[in-house]
Amino acid sequence: MAYPDDCKYSDEHEWIRVEDGVATIGITAYAAEQVGDIVFVEVPAVGTTLTATQPFGVIESVKAVSELFAPASGKVVEMNGALADAPETVAEDPHGAGWLVKIALSDPSELDRLKDAAAYQAMIDAA
């Protein structure tokens, strides 16, 4: 697939998209494919503070548990409640309905350290 140009990407395979000062975070299609059958997603509650590069939640597949790493710092303003009953949405639509959390960025300049779609594509092509 082509990775959306309106997102930035972390080395840990999370995407982040900023709209009206709120950043939406999810995992990339590549990560979703690597994780496999997703059966459980655990993301932090509204009000939790995320720190860039630090773990903020987990995705469980049948086989293993994988940590989620925050692509940027900020306070959670919304979590994707639909994932509690339909965690497979993350695999089915990782860049859309399978988003994880929305945060209010505490330092938008952190996004400059992330990759654009072309650089991210190059990274996974080399993997």
63 CB burial (10 A radius; 0-12, 13-18, 19+): exposed
Q: Is 93 in the site for other proteins (CB under 8 A)?
A: no
Closest to 27 (Cα-Cα) out of 40, 38, 16:
16
By CB under 8 A, how many residues form the interface with other proteins? 13
Choose the stretch contacting other proteins; rule: CB under 8 A; options: 16-24, 54-62, 101-109, 115-123: 54-62
Q: How far is the CB of 39 from other proteins (least distance, A)?
A: 4
φ, ψ (nearest 5 deg) of residue 50: -95, 145
Q: Is 39 in the site for other proteins (CB under 8 A)?
A: yes
CB 91 within 8 A of CB 35: yes
CA geometry: angle 13, 15, 106, nearest 5 deg: 115
Q: Which is nearer to other proteins, 40 or 82 (CB)?
A: 40
Pick the binder of other proteins from 12, 17, 22, 42 (CB under 8 A): 42
Judged by DSSP in three states, 84 sits in helix
Pick the binder of other proteins from 1, 4, 11, 63 (CB under 8 A): 63
> Applying CB under 8 A, which residues contact other proteins?
36-37, 39-40, 42, 58, 60-65, 84
